Structure 1
Amino acid sequence: MDLDLALVLFWSKKLLAAAILPPLGPLLLIALGLLLLRHRPRAGRALAWSGLAIALLLITPASVGWLARGLEDSPPVSAAALGDVQAIVVLGAGKREHAPEFGGETLNRLALERVRYAALLARRTGLPLLVTGGAPTGAVPEASLMAEALEREYGVTVRWTEGASRDTRENARFSAALLQASGVRRIALVTHAAHMPRSRAEFEAAGLAVIPAPTAWLSGPDTGLEALDFLPSANAAYAGWFATHEWLGRLAYRLSR
């Protein structure tokens, strides 16, 4: 069997990210610190306490909101900004592989947030839609599930389905090839607000003019801090993971250019 180097690199990147991102990343720091306590007590304590501090910061609304706010720099798209757009592109965000109530795989909640907003924009503007997202595991491409949801559940026709990409960079490159072949140069890009800086940069690098159409902000309005903002929560833990993923992704993409 031939070795798919691109697939190996893709999964290597995923494993490395899992080892760095919460919850595993801070736990590994704590574990390493505890292992060092006997022979290197000062370094061991520093690592263990650092891991604990990072873990707490990434599940506390106040610190997570600050981390996410630095990413979410695009305002909601206006009707005027959509005036010169030729197509709407919506990025995949994952799927649920075990969905017996749907007869197999279906979109996860992140992808549905993007699909829902893309459907709203498509109905308002009449612009054609492109969905992008592949299937690294070899199952149904996410783009196919997105197209099915848009057409059956939201009543919006999808013109282009790009189902070969495995990450944001490939989303951009493969989608740009489809769009440019149809004469499309200016798009509205639908993705999470925190994901917009990285995805916009990739689509512009692929030769498209991008109007950001962000959705699903992780941070709340900047109206000052309240007592509950310092109480760790499950929602903050998820937002902390997402924001950390995006900051690391931006760094990795910048270094790889």
Structure 2
Amino acid sequence: MTFNYALSNWLLPPTSLIVLTLLGVLLLKRRRALGVLLIVGCQMLLLAAAMPVVANALVRTLEPPPASIEQIKRAQAIVVLGGGRNLGSPEWGGETVNDYTLRRARYGARLARETGLPMYVSGGKPAGGELAEGTIMRELITREFNEPVKWVDAVSETTREQAVIVAQDLRPQQISRVALVTDAVHMPRAQRAFELAGLAVIAAPTGYSAQRPFAPYQLIPGPVALLHSHVALREWASQLHHHVLTLVD
């Protein structure tokens, strides 16, 4: 796990709201009004973040429209970004892709099958372990989806590093336009990183989570919605962080 990822878990809901709630409890004896305000305010925000209607609204601000096969065919290669691994999977020998990486690999394989474009998979070992995301994805795509993988990045640990390494590998191949496969909520940040690295990007998002119409059950708080709210807020925070780094560079 990278430092930035760990830090975001502390600074964003739900952890930040829980910490502030505990601070409010500690303030009850000395500054009761402030303590009550912190407790009530943080719990209301936590409740809102756990509502699907709020989570969907946050996620929709990030999810771009899907790509058509005609759009993908304008690319010269398909780049699939890893989204993490499951390091505790004894039935798979200890390590395998997580749900995020699986759906990206599946979609990338489908696009490669329908377009005939070569595929690049990217992902290192940001959480430790033995096998890189790129290595596991290559095995998954070739063995289970029967599609060849031409290039593998097995060292990058952040989206920014993925963009730089992919661009460096593809530039000698005279490839400057790629179809980028990642989760829809991650696409704005990933696309910007790859464009800053010098590649033209055709967005090929997958893993949509906020496109369903409103229904009354979306007012009922739940853990999945809380996770989606956290992911959306983390993406906005990461975009801000990348923007600051770009200005500094």
CA–CA distance in structure 1, aligned partners of residues 119 and 73 of structure 2? 15
Q: Look up the match of 1:171.
A: 162
1:98 corresponds to 2:103:
no
Paired residue secondary structure (1:171):
helix
The residue identity in structure 1 corresponding to 2:67 is V
- Residue 33 of structure 1 pairs with residue 31 of structure 2: no
**One-letter amino acid of the structure 2 residue matched with residue 246 of structure 1:** E
How many residues get paired? 245
Match of 2:119 in 1: 129
**In 1, are the aligned partners of 2:87 and 2:129 still within 8 Å (CA)?**
no
2:2, 2:157 within 8 Å by CA — same for their partners in 1?
Answer: no
Q: Give the structure-2-normalised TM-score.
A: 0.94
* Structure-to-structure mapping, 1:1-257, within 5 angstroms: 11-72=2-63, 74-136=64-126, 137=128, 139-221=130-212, 223=213, 225-257=214-246
The letter of the residue matching 1:213 is A
Q: Secondary structure at the match of 1:238?
A: helix
Range that drifts further, 233-242 or 245-254:
233-242
Residues 66-113 of structure 1 show CA distances to partners (whole Å, capped at 9, x for unaligned) of 1001011x2111122123210000111000101110112000011101
> What amino acid does structure 2 have at the position aligned with 1:82?
I
Shift of 1:234: 3.0
1:241 Cα deviation from its structure 2 partner? 2.1
Q: Distance in 2 between matches of 1:96 and 1:83?
A: 32
What is the DSSP-based 3-state SS (H/G/I as helix, E as strand, rest coil) of the residue aligned with 2:187?
helix
Which has the larger displacement, 86-95 or 242-251? 242-251
Which secondary structure state, in structure 2, belongs to the residue aligned with residue 220 of structure 1?
coil
CA contact (8 A) 2:141 2:147 kept: yes
Contact 1:29–1:50 (CA under 8 A) maintained in structure 2: no
CA distance in 2, matches of 1:38, 1:149: 57
1:91-136 Cα offsets, whole Å, 9 max, x none, are 1100010111011200001110111111110100010111111113
SS in structure 1 of the partner of residue 96 of structure 2: strand
Q: Give the secondary-structure state (helix, strand or coil) at the position aligned to 2:70.
A: coil
TM-score (norm 1): 0.91
The more displaced of 101-110 and 225-234 is 225-234
Q: Deviations over 1:147-171 (max 9, x none)?
A: 1100111001100000111111111
SS in 2 for 1:131: strand
Aligned match of 1:5: none
Q: Which residue identity does 1:157 align to in structure 2? A: P
Give the ranges of 4+ consecutive aligned residues of structure 1 lying more than 3 Å apart after TM superposition: none
- Following TM superposition, by how much is the alpha carbon of 1:254 offset from its aligned partner in structure 2, in angstroms? 1.5
Q: Which runs of 5+ in 2 are unaligned?
A: none
The residue matched to 1:96 in structure 2 has which SS? strand
Task: Output the aligned Cα RMSD.
Answer: 1.4
Structure 2 match to 1:4: none
